Amino acid sequence: MSERSPFVVDADWLQEWLGKPGVAIVDASWYLPAQKRDARAEYEAGHIPGAVFFDQDAVVHEGSDLPHTLPRAEHFARFAGSMGISVDDTIVVYDGPGVFSAPRVWWMFRVMGAKEVFILDGGFDHWKAEGRPVSTLPTKVAPCVFTPDFDSERVATLSDMREIVESGARQVADARPAGRFAGSDPEPRPGVRGGHMPGAKNVPATSLSKEGRLLPIEQLRKTIESAGLDLDQPIVTSCGSGVTAAVITLALESIGHKGSKLYDGSWSEWGSRSDTPVVTET
């Protein structure tokens, strides 16, 4: 097995492929309020040449009262097509820090049927620091047709999670920071309880990368196993709103784990309800 994830490309590779037909570049930056960064403003101030901005607060299920709910396939297809992205393109997704919000969009495209989807190792912050090309011009887009092939087996719903937690049919890997997982630190969204689902294991998303780059394969494996997860058994990933859960999903698929699901509602859904069991650590 290669030391590096098969779903990651480096900056040298991307720079060589800038402007080539069939290569779509997607800025998937998104930040928590505490990070005090404005993703769209940063994109407009400078982005990788040819990149389009993927607004994770807009490409969501219409009418959902939860943040970042996966849209219907036809809705996602309209957004992707309007960005000039085809299901057959080689799609490279990046964010500012490197491995934070980009994996969520990597996962979304794959759930919707795209096969050649990758993460830019190091993200845009490293790209800029290395003096690589940056554009402030709006990216010209030729709209196209994105033909989705939605894979529902990659997604876990609230009813799925109730059954999983009750039966233990899958292990639950939670990507939130340790304090929020334990319930000792407050949740950033009002009305959401602290703590975690019974039986869940904590794999903070930040533990799976270093300096904006996804850990090598064997380090990913050791980090996940040290959290108490059995890689021979099925896993469902979760986080605050479904964004950083995809970091664990990326790590799992990178090491060859098959069949993981992502709980789309994540803790924003589970922790906001009064009829879901919650464990806290004191």
CA distance 201 to 210: 21
| Per-residue three-class SS string for 3-54 | CCCCCEECHHHHHHHCCCCCEEEEECCCCCHHHCCCHHHHHHHCECCCCEEC
What would the pLDDT profile of 51-104 be if each residue is shown by its tens digit? 999 999 999 898 888 888 999 999 999 999 999 999 999 999 999 999 999 999
Q: Which pLDDT band, with edges at 50, 70 and 90, does 173 fall under?
A: very high
CA distance 44 to 166: 46
Per the prediction, the chain carries an average pLDDT of 95
Sign of CA dihedral 186, 187, 191, 192: negative
Q: What are phi and psi of 117, to 5 degrees?
A: -125, 130
What is the DSSP secondary structure assignment for residue 206, as one 8-state letter?
A: G
pLDDT in the model for residue 68: 85
Do 67 and 57 contact (CB within 8 A), yes or no?
yes
Q: Is the pLDDT of residue 264 over 50?
A: yes
CA distance 33 to 56: 14
pLDDT in the model for residue 54: 97
Pairing of strands 261-263, 155-156: parallel
Report the pLDDT averaged over residues 33-42. 89
Q: What is the pTM of this model?
A: 0.95
Q: Is the pLDDT of residue 1 over 50?
A: no
CATH superfamily of 153-270: Rhodanese-like domain (3.40.250.10)
Q: Which pLDDT band, with edges at 50, 70 and 90, does 281 fall under?
A: confident
CB atoms < 10 A from the CB of 10, how many?
13
In the chain, % of residues over pLDDT 70: 99
Q: From residue 147, how far is each of 70, 89, 128, 222 by CA, in Å?
A: 16, 11, 33, 38
Measured torsion, CA atoms of residues 216, 205, 117, 40, in degrees rounded to the nearest 10:
-130
> CB-based contacts of 231: which residues, under 8 Å, 6+ apart?
221, 224, 225, 252, 255, 257
CA distance 223 to 239: 17
Q: Is the pLDDT of residue 252 over 90?
A: yes
What ranges do the domains of the chain cover? 8-149, 153-270
CA distance 201 to 225: 10
Are domains 8-149 and 153-270 of this chain identical in fold? yes
pLDDT in the model for residue 282: 63
pLDDT in the model for residue 70: 95
Exposed/middle/buried for residue 282 (C-beta within 10 Å: 0-12, 13-18, 19+): exposed
Active-site amino acid positions: 239
In the chain, % of residues over pLDDT 90: 91
CA distance 52 to 49: 9
Q: Tell me: domain 8-149, CATH 3.40.1160.10, correct?
A: no
Q: Is the pLDDT of residue 203 over 50?
A: yes
Q: Is the pLDDT of residue 132 over 70?
A: yes
